[in-house]
């Protein structure tokens, strides 16, 4: 193996490969992190969790920060608008095993921004600084921060917030190169990520529109970032990560697996979720994941509609098994022809 890029260093932690799993609500639970880690993520991040909710220790909230251990190092991402409460939450997640505490100044979802959390914090740079300082002072592990360019196009504060982050001891930054008001529309502006990298001395992780491994490597090199964060593009396609890792290791990536192999992994994901969370919770949660795994082959739309209506794990797995057998039969016929 010949590494074509250096590791990502966050405080004393060395992350290799420098590929980070993005925090995604209702998605990056301990099961998905453990299943996706072997594909090549050097760092995984929990679902983003409310600092206010952590005060009460509810079971569902604590499950969001739970770990298997195999997916380490793990960063736990917190959101909130109160420096004191964020500091208390940071201490708690550190005690629960977080290797890194990440601050969320990036989420544009109304359920977060209506309470002045997530990307809404970017409307008050002083408050951003107070939150970051409080969290850094509260824990004995690296603190990182993820943000957007700003709340809207008229107030791009990312460089100022980054400089303040560096000054108070934040040890790495992730920039999703859209504004909060853009949500996921338009395209990520990677020139802004390059601008941020030039503006600070701590590691910068780039995020946004990284759906192709060759394009991701091009953006990595052109922007000068220290790492890449991948999120939605990996859902149903963790092979994107292994293909990007191959490029970082000086190898030509293997092609994305064919449909039967992708569906076999989907079955593994489904069964693991049922085993760990129980059928009542796993079946509805896995519907969205099956939708991702089903992209890109003939008849996927009709099959997706069918699977959205299945009520039990047994029924769902039977449909998937029949589909895999049918797809493999077609491939065998084509090979003979």
- Token pair listed for 19: 């590929």
pLDDT at 160 over 60: yes
pLDDT at 206 over 90: yes
Coil, strand, or helix at residue 326? helix
Give the pLDDT confidence score for residue 331 in this predicted structure: 60
Give the pLDDT confidence score for residue 284 in this predicted structure: 94
Contacts of 67 (CB under 8 A, 6+ apart): 30, 33, 74, 96, 97
Q: Could you tell me the pTM of the whole model?
A: 0.95
Confidence of residue 149 (pLDDT cuts 50, 70, 90): very high
- Token pair listed for 284: 């509805």
- Token pair listed for 104: 């969320």
CB 115 within 8 Å of CB 81: yes
Same domain, 234 and 269: no
Give residue-wise pLDDT tens across range 34-54.
Answer: 999 999 999 999 999 999 999
- Token pair listed for 110: 């109304």
Strand partners, 19: 228
Same domain, 324 and 298: yes
Compute φ and ψ for 49, nearest 5 degrees: -120, 145
**What does pLDDT average to over the chain?**
95
pLDDT at 126 over 80: yes
> Of 216, 248, 280, which closes a domain?
248
- Token pair listed for 302: 């009709």
CB 159 within 8 Å of CB 195: yes
275-298 burial, b if ≥16 CB within 10 A, otherwise e?
eebeeeebbebbeebbbbbbeeee
Give the pLDDT confidence score for residue 68 in this predicted structure: 85
The position carrying tokens 């099959």 is 303
> Of 248, 282, 307, which closes a domain?
248
- Residues recognised as catalytic: 107
Compute φ and ψ for 256, nearest 5 degrees: -60, 135
Same domain, 61 and 141: yes
Give the integer Cα–Cα distance in Å for 232 and 261.
20
CATH number at residue 55: 3.20.20.70
Same domain, 166 and 239: yes
Strand partners, 115: none
Residue 273 burial class via C-beta count within 10 angstroms: exposed 0-12, middle 13-18, buried 19 and up: buried
Same domain, 224 and 315: no
* Average pLDDT estimate for 231-236: 96
Asked if residue 253 belongs to a domain, the reply is no
* Average pLDDT estimate for 117-144: 98
Helix intervals (H) in 155-258: 158-168, 190-199, 213-223, 239-248
Give residue-wise pLDDT tens across range 78-122.
Answer: 999 999 999 999 999 999 999 999 999 999 999 999 999 999 999
Domains contained in the chain, number = 2
Coil, strand, or helix at residue 88? helix
pLDDT at 283 over 70: yes
Contacts of 249 (CB under 8 A, 6+ apart): 1, 2, 3, 4, 17
- Token pair listed for 281: 């919770």
In degrees, rounded to 5, the angle at the alpha carbon of residue 22 between the alpha carbons of residues 201 and 45 is 90
Give residue-wise pLDDT tens across range 13-34.
Answer: 999 999 999 999 989 999 999 9
Asked if residue 1 belongs to a domain, the reply is no
Give the integer Cα–Cα distance in Å for 203 and 144.
10
Give the integer Cα–Cα distance in Å for 141 and 138.
9
CB 131 within 8 Å of CB 187: no
Give the pLDDT confidence score for residue 157 in this predicted structure: 98
Same domain, 242 and 288: no
Strand partners, 174: 146, 205
pLDDT at 332 over 60: no
Same domain, 103 and 130: yes
CB 97 within 8 Å of CB 147: no
Same domain, 36 and 175: yes
Domain that holds residue 181: 8-248
The position carrying tokens 């590691």 is 203
Confidence of residue 65 (pLDDT cuts 50, 70, 90): very high
Compute φ and ψ for 70, nearest 5 degrees: -70, -20
Asked if residue 116 belongs to a domain, the reply is yes
Asked if residue 166 belongs to a domain, the reply is yes
Give residue-wise pLDDT tens across range 255-271.
Answer: 999 999 999 999 999 99
pLDDT at 205 over 80: yes
Residue 42 burial class via C-beta count within 10 angstroms: exposed 0-12, middle 13-18, buried 19 and up: buried
pLDDT at 336 over 50: no
Confidence of residue 296 (pLDDT cuts 50, 70, 90): confident
Confidence of residue 335 (pLDDT cuts 50, 70, 90): low
Give the pLDDT confidence score for residue 24 in this predicted structure: 94
Same domain, 226 and 293: no
> Of 199, 219, 248, which closes a domain?
248
pLDDT at 58 over 70: yes
| 26 vs 335 pLDDT, higher one | 26
CATH number at residue 311: 1.10.1200
Confidence of residue 297 (pLDDT cuts 50, 70, 90): confident
């Amino acid at each position: 193996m010949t590494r074509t890029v250096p590791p990502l260093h966050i405080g004393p932690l060395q992350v290799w490969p420098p590929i980070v799993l993005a925090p995604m609500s209702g998605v990056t639970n301990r099961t998905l992190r453990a299943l996706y880690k072997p594909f090549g993520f050097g760092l995984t991040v929990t679902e983003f969790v409310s600092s206010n909710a952590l005060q009460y220790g509810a079971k569902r909230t604590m499950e969001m920060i739970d770990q298997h251990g195999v997916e380490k190092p793990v960063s736990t991402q917190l959101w909130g608008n109160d420096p004191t409460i964020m500091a208390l939450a940071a201490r708690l997640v550190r005690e629960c095993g977080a290797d890194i505490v990440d601050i969320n100044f990036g989420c544009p979802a109304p359920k977060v921004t209506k309470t002045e959390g997530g990307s809404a914090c970017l409307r008050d740079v002083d408050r951003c600084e107070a939150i970051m300082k409080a969290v850094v002072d509260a824990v004995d592990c690296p603190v990182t921060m993820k943000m957007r360019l700003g709340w809207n196009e008229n107030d791009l504060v990312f460089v100022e917030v980054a400089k303040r982050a560096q000054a108070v001891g934040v040890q790495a930054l992730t920039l999703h190169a859209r504004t909060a008001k853009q949500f996921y529309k338009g395209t990520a502006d990677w020139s802004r990520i390059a601008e941020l990298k030039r503006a600070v001395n701590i590691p910068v992780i780039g995020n946004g529109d990284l759906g192709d491994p060759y394009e991701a490597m091009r953006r990595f090199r052109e922007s000068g970032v220290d790492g890449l964060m991948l999120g939605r593009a990996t859902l149903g396609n963790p092979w994107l990560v292994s293909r990007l890792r191959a490029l970082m290791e000086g190898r030509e990536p293997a092609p994305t697996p064919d449909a039967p192999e992708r569906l076999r992994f989907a079955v593994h994901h489904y069964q693991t979720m049922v085993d760990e969370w129980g059928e009542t919770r796993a079946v509805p949660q896995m519907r969205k994941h099956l939708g991702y795994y089903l992209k890109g082959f003939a008849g996927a739309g009709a099959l997706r509609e069918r699977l959205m209506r299945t009520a039990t794990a047994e029924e769902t797995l039977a449909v998937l098994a029949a589909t895999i057998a049918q797809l493999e039969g077609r491939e065998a016929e084509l090979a003979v022809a």
